[in-house]
Structure 1
Amino acid sequence: MKKASTKWMLFATALISIFLVTMWTLQYRSKDHFKAKQLNTDHSYKLESEKEQPKTTTTPAPLVPHTQPGVRVKTKKEVKPNPVEYYCNFPNSNDIFKMQEGNGQKGWKLKQVQIVIRHGDRAPLNLNVYHKFRTKNRFCNIHSNFYSDTLKLVSNYRNSIMKDQNSQHLPYFAQPLPEGIVCSPGQLTVIGALQHLHNGLMLREAYIRKHKLVDPATQDKFVYVRSTHVRRTFQSAVAFLYGFLPNYHLQDIPITFTMGPTFCEKHCVCPIVKTLEKKVKKTQYQNYLKRQRNNPIIKNISRITGIGDHTGPLMDSLVTGYICKQIPLPCNENGECVELSELNVVMNEQEYLNRVTRLESPARNISLLQIQPFLENITNHMKQVVEDSAAQRKAVLYSGHDLTLAPLIQALGLPEYRWPRLASRLVFELWQATDGMHFVKILFNGVDVTNDTAFCPGKNKPCSYNSFMQFQRDIGKYFGFDSRSSVCKS
């Protein structure tokens, strides 16, 4: 059974690799910007506005034999992805060999995982740039023959979920598949669903196959899922669960909803946050005046596209809207085009703004107050396991947004200033040592960042469950009060 599971996992990752070769490989570049082209003679997928390009081929990185998940593959030179490619987060079949989830110390037993994800790739929130440059936005239809013929995993996922969907009477909001012929603003794309199928498959290998964390026969009892009340996060959760759980069906695991991005179920209002936000916005605006507004590259992009000179809208319209879809960047009527290298500047400017905002303003104070109820929820789930409660969960999934992960990362004190990329994952692992002590590991996008947190600094030092619990409880004391509630009333 173990060999069959491993073979299935490698087969699935190989299929993903094939899809990436045919759909996402950068097959032609001119002036540093992407040029879309016909993918192959059998399954052409060509935008109406593009010109025929010479056919090229690219060989994907091969699967590395005899390598365990969590062991980094040594290469002659580690290539750091450029900011745009990092943000788009294109799945790679080698990801499973680099991830560090599921690696406890010798003798430790994995007791629980809690996974916080950002939704997968989506359409831009503002489609004006598509309308202006007459860009076709046909990325959200999972029923397209292109996806069915190119990747069996997507086809199997679609067919399985459709059968489950037809057997139930789901409300319009809770449609589980991306199936718009034309994308609406913010709609999950098929690529976005694939990203979380990929995440789910990798974590199935780390937690279910390797550690037997969840028994498929009782997974409905020990798996708990929450999503924000937005369709793209709900659909991302469904895709993740399909990859994560063996023989998953839509009716197996109820998905409950929360109205806010920080999963704050009660006592969410904190008036002092608004006061602090004014100071943060002042810092951000001052840096905008100093840097972004006068940056010649950003000014050039704004002139070509008419989008504006703020990094946020530029990222949404051009990085999410074009690069992450692998379609040509727009050109104006004079033939002037936005270039990939220019968008890397935009991403670097956003990272700089994030860094300065956190270091020179009360941004982390805001994140601590915003996210404390969520952290309390996470620690309560851990507490149920530590106390061996009958209500304990083995796996908890929270499907949210960048506005979920950004304050969570800040509150934990992680030195990560890049904007949370599409389909990001932040994992909280609860382990039990041979002496009965419990420890926490925190991983961001497959990398162990436990010793980068504010409450467990230090290299190669296990982080106790009590340290994490104390950090959450003492957030009020950070402000000189007994509790968050007292801070918010001050």
Structure 2
Amino acid sequence: MGFCRWIWDSVDVANNQHQQRLLMSYSPQGKMRQMRRLRFCVVALVVMLVTYWFIFGDEDSVTTRSSPVTPPEWAEMCEFLERKWQGSEGQIADTGFRLRGIAIGFRHGERSPLITTYDREGCLPFREEDRKDFQQYRSLVSSDDFQFFLRHDKMFENFAFAPSHSECSPGQMTAEGALQHVKLGNYMRKKYSSSSIFAPESRLNVFVTSSPFNRTYQSAIAFTSSFLYPLRVTIPQVFIRASNFTFMCTSRDCQCYPAKQWRLQYEEEHAQYFRERSPEHLRVIAAALKTHPNFNKTIDPFQMIDVALGSYICRRRALPCFGKGNCLDYGFMSELVKETTIRGQVMYDEQSRYIAQKLQLVEAYGVLYHIVEAVEKLRRFAHTNIIQVFSGHDVMLAPLLRVMGVPFVDPPHYASHIVIEFYEPIISSSAKDPIHLRFIYNGVDITNSISFCESHTKEAGLCPAQQLEEFVQKRIFSLLGVSSLRDICDIAAQ
């Protein structure tokens, strides 16, 4: 009755004869007025209920229209474009050192899950400003000037320069993924464009390498478009080389043909570890989660995380429900990431039980080998500076970090990046080792955490490059009881 009274009073609020109507309610005319009033209340109630159901009652509309608040750690996993970046990259404060070059290795941008269905509109950028930015980006990379600036390996001949603006396709990068690397390139340019790397009296050698996948090739292009292309007066042209696999080797000296098979074995051992050693409550929930059609092919936590990111979290959709009253939540997702991080280190440490250590030493060797090459060139050519770019995957970054002894969250999030800065003393250029290194992961200086640098970072917090060379050339494979890459890979290939 309170609801009807509210409706009727609202309609009659301007009527100054309200009291008179109440007095007439006992007359025949009053009863008719009461009936009309009751019918009006019923109709109004029905209209409001239907409206409420239309807006709030359809479960699907809630899932697709709402943009739930994403916990900060998961906004970072997706690398939402509105996140602010602050990092320690760039010339150090000690003016006694000159920056001679950088190497950067990064994971590709956000992509659709490897296990997913095609969706024509599901991967449209979330914010209108990002949609406009992506259209401008596509126009840039399609221009004649940019395509003259950027040359590429024949392997990439049929690869698209940019992802679709809206389509979701298994394993393919999204428009937001490309914009993440445009953002990264802009960030790096602000950090380094005024440094001595681009000094006019020096020659600058630029090397860009991508694994042979659409998402890494497109990430390399996006990064190059905002980091190097605006500096094209200094860098007239860039060439993207294709690596032989995911670990970024472009030389016969770091190739290891059995590594592809070892990677497949590692993924099988991953799943086996989860079945046999992971906490039971995680396995129970994971089994129930498989009743949801988007998760019915997932057998490993990495796959579950991949689907949750690509289909829900990074698309800013509510996490799904499955079974009877069960819903995926961020608590479970965070437990999965904690478990994959622990699992990765345990499997690496238990070298006699798993292939992990042998595989990841080989995978890390490719990037480290090319960084050592850069150190040697900087020593030989005093007026040459170097930029190296490695566009890869989480399976490029994770082995690098693990082999160097750096703790990290596994898997590294989209657009994660490790930067190595090359310095030399300005005055004492005749020092025993003129090249020094600084390592930065996602904006954090990790030089003191690097296993071969720990006791050697005395001067300006830098690591003598000789420590890296000794590690790569002599010690990296000693854990396996061999002295070289060939000892591992040639024997395995026989």
Q: Secondary structure of the residue that 2:162 maps to in structure 1? A: coil
Give 1:163's aligned residue. 143
1:472 is the counterpart of 2:465: no
Q: Secondary structure of the residue that 1:314 maps to in structure 2? A: helix
1:132-147 aligned within 5 A:
136=119, 138=121
Write the distance in 2 (CA, Å) between the matches of 1:56 and 1:286. 35
Write the distance in 1 (CA, Å) between the matches of 2:97 and 2:439. 15
Write the distance in 2 (CA, Å) between the matches of 1:160 and 1:216. 27
Gaps spanning 5+ residues in structure 1: where?
1-47, 59-79
Q: Secondary structure of the residue that 2:241 maps to in structure 1? A: strand
Give 1:372's aligned residue. 365
**In the alignment, which of 77, 80, 95 is matched to residue 90 of structure 1?**
80
CA contact (8 A) 2:76 2:413 kept: yes
1:204 is the counterpart of 2:189: yes
Alpha carbons of 1:290 and 1:481: their partners in 2 closer, same or farther (altered >3 Å)?
Answer: closer
Alpha carbons of 1:114 and 1:189: their partners in 2 closer, same or farther (altered >3 Å)?
Answer: same
Q: Secondary structure of the residue that 1:399 maps to in structure 2? A: strand
Write the distance in 2 (CA, Å) between the matches of 1:105 and 1:327. 47
1:463 Cα offset (Å): 0.8
Q: Give the number of the structure whose residues are more often helix, by fraction.
A: 2
Give 2:61's aligned residue. 50
Query: 2:207 corresponds to which letter in structure 1?
Result: Y
Q: Secondary structure of the residue that 1:161 maps to in structure 2? A: helix
1:449 Cα offset (Å): 0.9
Q: Normalising by structure 1, what TM-score?
A: 0.72
Write the distance in 1 (CA, Å) between the matches of 2:376 and 2:276. 47
1:241 Cα offset (Å): 1.2
Write the distance in 2 (CA, Å) between the matches of 1:339 and 1:459. 44
Alpha carbons of 1:469 and 1:263: their partners in 2 closer, same or farther (altered >3 Å)?
Answer: same
1:179 is the counterpart of 2:164: yes
Alpha carbons of 1:216 and 1:312: their partners in 2 closer, same or farther (altered >3 Å)?
Answer: farther
Q: Secondary structure of the residue that 1:173 maps to in structure 2? A: coil
1:402 Cα offset (Å): 1.2
Write the distance in 2 (CA, Å) between the matches of 1:54 and 1:483. 56
Give 1:12's aligned residue. none
Q: How many residue pairs were aligned?
A: 409
Q: Specify the structure having the higher radius of gyration (Cα).
A: 2
Write the distance in 1 (CA, Å) between the matches of 2:88 and 2:395. 24
Q: Secondary structure of the residue that 2:168 maps to in structure 1? A: coil
1:467 Cα offset (Å): 0.8
Q: Normalising by structure 2, what TM-score?
A: 0.71
**In the alignment, which of 264, 289, 293 is matched to residue 301 of structure 1?**
289
Query: 1:298 corresponds to which letter in structure 2?
Result: A
Write the distance in 1 (CA, Å) between the matches of 2:479 and 2:307. 39
* Greater alpha carbon shift after TM alignment, 320-329 vs 288-297: 288-297
CA contact (8 A) 1:261 1:400 kept: yes
Residues 226-247 of structure 1 deviation map (CA, whole Å, 9 limit, x = unaligned)? 1111111111111111221252
1:386 Cα offset (Å): 1.6
Q: Secondary structure of the residue that 1:321 maps to in structure 2? A: helix
Give 2:197's aligned residue. 213
* Greater alpha carbon shift after TM alignment, 346-355 vs 276-285: 276-285
Alpha carbons of 1:355 and 1:167: their partners in 2 closer, same or farther (altered >3 Å)?
Answer: closer
CA contact (8 A) 1:112 1:429 kept: yes
Between the aligned residues of both structures, percent identity stands at: 24
Residues 212-239 of structure 1 deviation map (CA, whole Å, 9 limit, x = unaligned)? 42369999x6322111111111111111
CA contact (8 A) 1:110 1:430 kept: yes
1:477 Cα offset (Å): 4.0
1:471 Cα offset (Å): 0.8
* Greater alpha carbon shift after TM alignment, 256-265 vs 100-109: 100-109
Write the distance in 2 (CA, Å) between the matches of 1:412 and 1:433. 25
Query: 1:50 corresponds to which letter in structure 2?
Result: S
Give 2:350's aligned residue. 360
Alpha carbons of 1:255 and 1:188: their partners in 2 closer, same or farther (altered >3 Å)?
Answer: same
1:205 Cα offset (Å): 1.1
Write the distance in 2 (CA, Å) between the matches of 1:152 and 1:327. 22
